[in-house]
Structure formats: structure tokens, C-alpha cells
Amino acid sequence: MAAGMEAATGLAGSPSSVMATGVLLVATAFCLLLLLTQPLRRRVPKGLKPPPGPRGLPVVGNVLELRKDPHLALTRLSQKYGDVMEVAIGTQPVLVLSGLDTLRQALVRQGEDFMGRPDLPSFRHIADGQSLGFSPEVGEVWKARRKLAQNALKTFSIAASSTSSSSCLLEEHVSKEAAYLVTKFLQVMEEEQSFDPYRYLVVSVANVICAMCFGKRYDHNDQELLSLVNDSEKFGEVAAAGNPSDFIPLLRYLPSRSMDLFKDYNQRFVRFLQAIVKEHYETYDKDNIRDITDSLIEQCLDKKEASTAARIPNEKIVNLVNDLFGAGFESVTNSLSWCLMYLVTYPNIQKRIQAELDQTIGRERRPRLSDQGTLPYTEAFILEMFRHSSFLPFTIPHSTTKDTVLNGYYIPKGRCVFVNQWQVNHDEKLWKDPHVFNPERFLNAEGTEVNKEDGEKVLIFGLGKRRCIGEFIARRQVFLFLTTLLQQLEFSVRDGRKVDMTPRYGLSLKHKRCEHFQVKQRFPMASLS
């Protein structure tokens, strides 16, 4: 028996057996690799060709090339491979679209083909997977509810104000919050040498959408609202285009603090909205529709009036409110925050905007929405802020709803699509010196009018059927907040300090927070009406 064991041991350690074991391991690894990379193999109909793109590494694809500032990496790659190219994130192929003409072709002219959303794991945690903006659903029910949400947002934006026959609800809410913000900035300056404007700005912007959605505003010290709006960055870090854990299954099983915070944020936000909706149901009066939430409840209860597709189950109202809040909050906050950074970086531009405000509006009244169109330099500044910052470098990822062809390339159904807005906004074919901040690029030779055609080339809210439903109110809020602040205040930073405008990648590009802002009052506010 001992001899048999010795023989067996000798066999196991023989060179031939070691070689056989090595061959077996290599074969196993090869089969595993083949299995992992199988999704990358494409069947292309005869006569068509697949999009070009860089060769990726096994298992991880092009992740290493995209790990830092994906918008810049993909822009560089598009210069080599073209406006329609394909990269691999993990083993999953992703279509990347660049170039204004290509984006208009895909998202507008072929909008039905590209209006889907990929079923990404992170998206399932947003509004319990029922978000209008992130859900892969694109059927008739989705279309009807999106239209309903869009109409509700617009209706409560342009509805006549109860306090003034000449203004709308949106104007009333923004004017009040902007005036409060002016007072708050001045009050803080009396107590401190400098401050971070974002911490106050974010609450004022949130209060506008809270007033429209919930019929109430919150104190700037309200801890629940502060916690939600200040933690919104946790959402953007995970929901950003190209998050590896959305494409590489193994990463979902590894500990991730950012994913844990993302899930916690979404759960807290839903609970916050659930409490508000519950309160609205308890106090609902069909003869007194107070806000957007009441309007949605009315539609939910009035089954006879609503079409089958547009009817909203009670439990879905929270999800719609979630979308409307997001649509009216994140883009406005980012816009105004970037505006302030550019204003202190380019003080001469700030002075020119204020000179235009003094000349056109004066100092006897506050700016109004009706002033849009009469302040061309201010409008050009806002457009250039959108273009230069490109704080939404990609739209939320799209997906194809059927097999299609774009620019001669075959694109299969269900392909995840990244829309590179940053590339369009910095395309040398469209813009002279695209990396230079220059509002005058949008003005005519006399500086009296904005070139609307150039303005429409700036991409920040997407295009086509998935265009941001909050664009209408976002543009209006940015204009009204900015003009009200600049009419009354002059912004600067403490001597010897500079702002850091290096963007940090996420769903939106955010600059580093700056605590060195200072403000100075331009004239007594008592003179304003």
C-alpha cells in the first residue's frame, strides 16, 4: 500500500503530469475568456459594417482608457475613429456619438430608434426603477406620463401669480428666493470675511421647485432638506455615464462606499417625497389645486378624464414628483454655481453684464422674465457658460429600440449609447478657439443681438424625444436668478485667493467648492419695486 502511494505521488509530480495540468489550465482560461468576451461578437447584416473603435483588453475592454475624464478620453478617440464609434466597457459594447450633425440625425430625425434607456443596475435604484428619466420603458404609458409631467411643470410655471397680474408663478417664486439670497449673502458677509455661496444657492434653487411641486418653501437651516440637497453629489457620482459597475458584473459584488451612499440617498429622497405626497392626499381639495402634486393627484383620482395610458396609480405619483424635482433642481444649481465662478474669474464680464442691466432695467425695479430678449450680452454669457462648462458632458445614456443604421453603420437593438455633448460644445469645426471663454461669440457685430442659430448649437439639455423636461423652467430660472443677483451685488474672491475651475467628472461636471467668495452691495435695495 505504501508502495502504491509512493507510485501515485511520483506520478502526480512527474513532468508530464505538470505539463498536462498546465495545458488544462490554459485551455480552461481560454474558454472562460471566450465566454466572457462573447457579448462583444457582433453579427452584422451583409452589406453593412459595424462602427469602428479602439481594441479593448479582455474582460475590462476600454475601461482603463476611460477611467479619468471619460468625456475628454472619448472626444480624443472620436477624432481618430469618427462621430459614430464603439468602445467596450467590460465586455459590453457601447456606441459613442459625437458631432452635432450626427447627434441631430440620431436623436431627432431617427429619434424613435435612439430614444430607449439601457437597463443599467444603478438606474434600478432611482425612484424604485420607475423614473421617467432613467427607466428603460418607452411605451405608450411612458409617453403619456412624460407628457403629463411636462405639461404640469409648464402649467405651474406660466400660471398667473396670485399676487401680481403681470407675473407668473415661476417668476414670483424665483424673485422671492433671489431677493432672499441677496439678503442672506450680505448678512453672511457681515459675520464672516468670506463664504461659500453654493451652500445657500442650492437651498434657494430647491425652494423654487419645492414651491411649485409642494406649495411650500423650507428654511435655509432645515436639516432634512439640507441633507438631501447637499448630498446630491452622491447621486451624480454613480449615475454618471460609464460607471464601470453598470457594465462589469463582478464589480457589483465588491464593497462600494459610493454605491452604498447612492442607494441610501435615493431611499431617503423617496421617503422625503412619500411624506409630502401623503400629506397632500390628506389635505386634498379638488376645488383648490395648490401645486403640481395636487394636480397629479387630481389626474389620478379623476379616472374619467384621463386616457387609459396617462392614468397614474397612486403609488406612481411619488416617482413623477421625483422626476419633476430633479428636472428643476440639478441643472439650475449647476448653472448658477458655474456662473458665479466665471463672474469672479472674469470681473470685466461681470461689469459689462451689470452695465447692461443698469441701462436696460435700471435700479428702480427688479428684473422680470419679460426682460429676456432685451439683454443680449447677459443672454450670450449664459450660453457661453453652458457651452464652455458643458457641465452635463453626456446625456443620460440612451439605447436603441430596434436594429438601425446611422451614418452607414449597423447598430443593433438594445445597444447602449453615449451622447457626447462636451465634444459638440468644444468642436473646432463649430467654434473658434473653443477652449476660450468668450460670450461675444454669440453676438452680432454690433453686440445688439444674439445669433439664435449659434445658440441652438449649444448642447446641455439633450435633443429629441429624451430632451430634459425641465429645460423650459431651467433656462428661465437661471436668467432670473442671475440678473437679480448681479443687479444688486458685486461678486469677488478674497485678495490672494483664486477659484479652482477644474471640473470633477460625474453625471454633471462640478467645480471644487470655493469658500473665498465676497459680495458687495451695489445700491440700497429699498429703492427696488
Q: How far is CA 251 from CA 7, 246, 256, 427, in A?
A: 45, 8, 9, 34
Look at 523 and 127; give whichever has higher pLDDT.
523
Q: Is 50 exceeded by the pLDDT of residue 10?
A: no
Torsion of the alpha carbons at 5, 8, 12 and 17, rounded to the nearest 10: 170
Across the range 87-99, mean pLDDT stands at 94
pLDDT value for 408? 93
The CATH number given to whatever domain includes residue 125 is 1.10.630.10
pLDDT tens-digit map of 245-264 = 777 777 777 777 777 777 88
- The pLDDT of residue 271: 87
* 34 pLDDT tier (thresholds 50, 70, 90): very low
Given this model, what pLDDT does residue 257 score?
Answer: 78
The pLDDT value recorded for residue 162 is 54
390 inside domain = yes
CA–CA distance, 118 with 124 (Å, rounded to integer) = 11
Q: Domain for residue 378, yes or no?
A: yes
Residue 29, in any domain of the structure? no
User: Cα separation of 453 and 444, whole Å?
Assistant: 12
- pLDDT level of residue 296 (50, 70, 90 thresholds): confident
Q: Which is more confidently placed, 6 or 399?
A: 399
Give the 3-state secondary structure of residue 169.
Answer: helix
pLDDT of residue 299: 76
Give CA separation, 491 vs 59, 150, 189, 347, 517, in Å.
Answer: 50, 35, 12, 8, 7
> How many Cβ atoms from other residues are within 10 Å of residue 81's Cβ?
18
Mean confidence (pLDDT) of the chain: 83
Average pLDDT over residues 255-282: 84
Mapped onto helix, strand or coil, the DSSP state of residue 394 is strand
In a domain, residue 18? The reply is no
Is 51 part of any domain?
A: no
* Mean pLDDT to the nearest integer, 327-331: 79
Domain count for the chain, please give it. Answer: 1
Whether the pLDDT of residue 239 is over 60: the answer is no
pTM of the predicted structure, to 2 decimals: 0.87
Domain limits at 279?
A: 63-527
Q: How is residue 318 written as a grid cell?
A: 411619488
Which of 121-125, 172-176, 450-454, 460-464 is predicted with the least confidence, judged by mean pLDDT?
121-125
CB 314 within 8 A of CB 300: yes
Residue 358 confidence (pLDDT) above 50: yes
Question: Residues 444-465: what's their mean pLDDT?
Answer: 94
The three cell numbers of residue 522 are 451695489
Q: What's the start-to-end Cα distance of the chain, in Å?
A: 106
**126: confidence class by pLDDT, cuts 50, 70, 90:** confident
* Contact assessment for residue 214 and residue 515, using Cβ atoms and an 8 Å cutoff: no
* Structural domain includes residue 37: no
Does the pLDDT at position 33 exceed 50?
A: no
* pLDDT on residue 419: 97
Residue 285 covered by a domain: yes
Using a pLDDT cut of 70, give the percent of the chain over it.
84
Q: Are 96 and 83 in contact (CB under 8 A)?
A: no
| Statement: residue 198 has pLDDT above 70 | yes
% of residues, the chain, pLDDT over 90: 45
Decide if pLDDT at 287 tops 50.
Answer: yes
CA angle in degrees (0–180, nearest 5) for 260-264-265: 115
User: Looking at residue 484, what is its pLDDT?
Assistant: 96
Residue in 482, 523, 477 with CA at minimum distance from that of residue 197: 482
* Stronger pLDDT, 423 or 259, i.e. the higher one: 423
- Of 491, 241, 154, 195, which Cα lies nearest the Cα of 346? 491
Compute the distance between CA of residue 410 and CA of residue 421 in angstroms, rounded to an integer: 22
DSSP state of 160: B
* pLDDT surpasses 80 at 342: yes
450 within 8 A of 376, measured Cβ to Cβ: yes
Rounded to an integer, the average pLDDT of 22-41 is 45
Q: Does the structure show a pLDDT above 90 at 294?
A: no
Per-residue confidence (pLDDT) for residue 443, from 0 to 100 = 96
* Residue 468 labelled as part of a binding site: yes
146-265-400 Cα angle (round to 5) = 40
Give pLDDT tens digits for 155-175. 777 766 555 544 688 899 999
pLDDT, residue 159, reads: 62
Q: How many CA atoms lie within 13 A of 461 on its CB side?
A: 21
| Any domain includes 9 | no
Residue 328 confidence (pLDDT) above 60? yes
Query: Which range has the worst mean pLDDT, 88-97, 326-335, 510-519?
Result: 326-335
Cell numbers for 77 = 478617440
* Distances, alpha carbon 223 to alpha carbons 31, 120, 179, 219, 439, in Å: 55, 32, 22, 9, 38
